């Protein structure tokens, strides 16, 4: 398996980015849900810094993944896949990108419109060039608190599609992002 994608499978770079982003999303969803139920205080603030810092890392990884996708060949849909499934698979992939970026952008914008700076693991912080506004802050806070549910739903569709292709259609869709395609395919 090479670094770059081929017409039949994803390369090691795309696979590493995919799985690192997956791990990052699971961690930020978990931390986000945990801190949401906490009382205000230093512990919650610390959890929010960790949550936001990992989200910044995921944002960078997602950006690299998107650039990598445009710079590389993308394995095509398996032969014999019905047109409706091809369209659904393509829409789900792009919906993941849009929804995850919306989630990752809404967090820092929520902080910035509330007058805060974005901290990266307490090592440094930066401000976004947006105006502090309670109304705008509330809007972005609502977007952030709701959009993770959309991301989760789309990811579930993505996982179900991969499992369907592996166990029912018995093609290499899942293997292309994991262990590699069967020899001779």
Residues 51-66 as b or e (16 or more Cβ within 10 Å = b): bbbbbbbbbebbeebe
Q: Let me know: does 137 contact 113? Beta carbons within 8 Å.
A: yes
DSSP 8-state symbol, 184:
T
Q: Let me know: does 148 contact 103? Beta carbons within 8 Å.
A: yes
Low-confidence ranges of the chain (pLDDT < 50): 185
- Give the pLDDT confidence score for residue 11 in this predicted structure: 95
12-176: CATH superfamily: Transmembrane di-heme cytochromes, Chain C (1.20.950.20)
């Amino acid at each position: 398996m090479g670094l770059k994608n081929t017409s039949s499978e994803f390369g090691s770079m795309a696979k590493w980015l995919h799985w690192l982003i997956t791990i990052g999303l699971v961690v930020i969803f978990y931390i986000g849900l945990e801190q949401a139920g906490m009382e205000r205080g230093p512990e919650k603030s610390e959890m929010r810094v960790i949550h936001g810092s990992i989200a910044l890392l995921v944002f960078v990884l997602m950006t690299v993944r998107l650039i990598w996708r445009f710079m590389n060949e993308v394995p095509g849909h398996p032969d014999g896949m019905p047109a409706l499934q091809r369209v659904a698979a393509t829409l789900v992939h792009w919906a993941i990108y849009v929804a995850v970026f919306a989630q990752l952008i809404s967090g820092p914008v929520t902080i910035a419109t509330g007058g805060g700076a974005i901290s990266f693991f307490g090592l440094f912080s930066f401000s976004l060039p947006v105006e502090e506004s309670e109304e705008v802050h509330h809007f972005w806070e609502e977007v952030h608190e709701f959009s993770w549910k959309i991301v989760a739903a789309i990811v579930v569709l993505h996982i179900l599609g991969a499992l369907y292709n592996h166990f029912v259609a018995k093609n290499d869709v899942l293997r292309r992002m994991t262990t590699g395609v069967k020899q001779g395919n």
